[in-house]
Amino acid sequence: MSPSAEASSLQIRDVGVSFDGVRALDGVTFSVDAGGVTAVIGPNGAGKTTLLNCVSGLYRHTGDVVLGGASLSGLAPHRRARRGLARTFQTPALVDELPVVDNVMLGAAAMARPEPERRLRERALELIARLGADAVRDQPAGSLSHGDRRRAEIARALLPGPALLLLDEPAAGLDHDEAMGLLTAVLEICGTCVLVEHDVELVMKLARHVVVLDTGRVLAEGPPTLVVRDQKVIDAYLGQEIPG
């Protein structure tokens, strides 16, 4: 059961947040259409993770976040998850003592309706296999390689069948082919993703829309091929134009 297209659209409207008087996000506004990858790129400290923290409800902020036409403002993270929002973290957080399959089953906490344990286990095993982590499914998460930790964390986020998945630098520590394989599999499972990513080559291949953040503001947005040729984006982030 995949969520309807409308349920997967996200609007970020005039989102702002400050830490000790420092404006980390200021008037951030953009839309994520259902279907495909919207990438969020920008220099370190631009506010990318902060934005995901606002969308997922970890940070209080001004402005509004709307998923599938309904405002998420004021909702705690677990309520947003039950509305169909899933996320992963820049550093995967797993229960190290538990086997991978049990870690993935913890994703059930975000389900709007509980399902029998047997069904959850079947679904967890299917996701683990599709993300290429079959060989480690019974191993404790603490013993995993970086790539397999990443796979386990993403499988857990996918378990509830989210309408939209927020990924914070999922390719960090993976080689290009590994990251492409993993993200392609993720997209086949959850059709709408917001991808915070440093690897611009990966973004060029996967994203249909790119939003560039710089010092907490949207510097530019548009199709990847146009955004990487934007002089403002080259000056603030890319340093030089990306060929292709």
Segment near ligand ADP (CB under 6 A); pick from 48-56, 68-76, 144-152, 203-211: 48-56
Q: Which listed residue (1, 44, 118, 240) binds ligand ADP by CB under 6 A?
A: 44
Looking up tokens 């907490």, which residue turns up? 216
As a whole number of Å, the end-to-end CA separation of the chain is 37
Q: Are strands 70-71 and 85-87 parallel, antiparallel or unpaired?
A: unpaired
Binder of Mg ion out of 8, 49, 56, 88 (CB under 5 A): 49
Q: Which is nearer to ligand ADP, 87 or 123 (CB)?
A: 87
Nearer to Mg ion, 48 or 151 (CB): 48
Extended beta strands in 33-169, E state: 36-41, 62-67, 70-71, 85-87, 164-168
List 6, 14, 45, 93, residue binding ligand ADP (CB under 6 A): 45
210 forms part of the interface with ligand ADP (CB under 6 A): no
Asked if 19 is part of the footprint of ligand ADP (rule: CB under 6 A), the reply reads yes
Give yes or no for residue 200 binding ligand ADP (CB under 6 A): no
What percent of the chain is helix, strand and coil (3-state, nearest 5)? 40, 25, 35
Q: How far is residue 58 from each of residues 12, 24, 226, 231, measured CA to CA in Å?
A: 15, 14, 32, 34
Binding-site ranges for ligand ADP (CB under 6 A): 19, 24, 42, 44-50
